[in-house]
Amino acid sequence: MKLFFTDLDGTILNSEKEISPGNRAAVDEALAAGHKVIVATGRPLSSAIRQAKRLGLGGEGCLLIAYNGGIIYDMTREEILQARSIPLPLAEEIFREAERRGLHIQTYMGDDVIVEPRCDDEAIRWYTDMTVMSFRVIPEIAQLPIDPVKLLVLEFEDRPKADAMREWVLENYPGQLDSFYSAPMILEIVPAGVNKGAALLRTAELLGVDVKDTVAAGDEGNDIPMIRAAGVGACMANGIPEAKAAADYVTEADCDHDGAAEIIRKFVLNSE
């Protein structure tokens, strides 16, 4: 049995955020052959679950990775197996710094994206349309009843401004927080040590599968730890140069032309 870990956006989902018939057929073939397909995404848990169900992933022992590894979830038992979070006072500090820099920042609770009144209305509506989620405005992040799993900054026009925010987080919170991009306009802020690579290793351990029998597919900066950790790490043709450099294999096809199916057939089914 092999484990195929797949990113969603730009990997198994095309640029229209849809699962192509070719990718779906390859997933079905892998499942029928006794392998497991595991969604590994930066998306919130509710959005990840919805996408996993669209892929038909719900059989015994079907796990998924959400929040870039912040949560490992058992689809069958509907149970969180592992979770890491950011202490609320620390999250408050990050929100205040983003506000000072004029950046949109958000977090999550349950099925909702959580923002403060000063949020960028265009940014939050773009994000919730993409993830098919709702959002809730609260007076200030300090009113959250839980520690958030991750924070997310959206900046569409001024990448250097987001870069500066990332550098500030890394410089001021070493050993506490990490920060990386999951798309050119999406800056993730997570607990230190949380990434898709660490989650891949833990998921393989939970399922009793040797790491050499894992295959990972991605396209962005947040996928690099997973690509490096897997027995075979693959990057999509549409991936960023850094992800391609980290990969054992780069697809010929991109996410709009069944690139994920190419990986499944070549390294999971060994049919190409």
Same domain, 106 and 177: yes
Tokens 């955020």 -> residue: 17
Distance (Å, rounded) from C-alpha 33 to C-alpha 217?
19
Q: What is the CATH number of the domain that holds 214?
A: 3.40.50.1000
Structural domain for 58, as ranges: 3-83+194-268
pLDDT of residue 110: 87
If you average pLDDT over residues 162-169, what whole number do you get? 98
Question: What Cα–Cα distance (Å) separates residue 141 from each residue in 99, 160, 192, 208, 241?
Answer: 12, 25, 21, 39, 36
* Residues 6+ away with beta carbon under 8 Å from 149: 44, 67, 70, 71, 83, 84, 85, 86, 107, 108, 190
Domain check: are 93 and 187 in the same one? Answer: yes
Number of domains in the chain: 2
Whether residue 185 sits in one domain with residue 94: yes
Structure tokens at 145: 């009843």
Phi-psi region of 258 (alpha: psi -120 to 50; beta: other; left: phi over 0): left
Alpha-carbon separation of residue 249 from 8, 188, 215, 254, 255 (angstroms): 18, 26, 11, 13, 15
Mean pLDDT for the stretch of residues 218-228: 97
Coil, helix or strand at residue 203: helix
Mean pLDDT of the chain: 96
Apex CA 56: angle with CA 261 and CA 31, to 5°? 55
Q: pLDDT (tens digit, 9 = 90+) per residue, 241-271?
A: 999 999 999 999 999 999 999 999 999 999 7
Q: Which two tokens stand for residue 138?
A: 């609260």
73 and 142 housed in the same domain: no
Can you give the C-alpha Rg of the chain in angstroms? 18
The answer to whether 43 touches 108, Cβ cutoff 8 Å, is no
For residues 45 and 14, membership in a common domain is answered with yes
> Binning pLDDT at 50, 70 and 90, where does residue 222 land?
very high
Which of the pair, 55 or 212, is modelled with greater confidence? 212
- Shared domain for 32 and 113, answered yes or no, is no
pLDDT at 272: 63
**Percent residues over pLDDT 90 in the chain:** 94
What pTM does this model have?
0.93
Instruction: Among 191, 211, 246, give the residue marking a domain's end.
Output: 191
52: which 2 tokens?
């996993």
CB 222 within 8 A of CB 215: no
Question: Rounded to whole angstroms, how far apart are CA atoms 53 and 116?
Answer: 31
64-118 pLDDT, tens digit per residue, is: 999 999 999 999 999 999 999 999 999 999 999 999 999 999 999 988 999 999 9
Among 53, 264, 131, residue whose Cα is nearest residue 64: 53
Residue 46 has pLDDT above 80, yes or no: yes
- d(Cα 232, Cα 108) in Å, to the nearest integer? 32
Q: Which of 135, 158, 191 is at the close of a domain?
A: 191
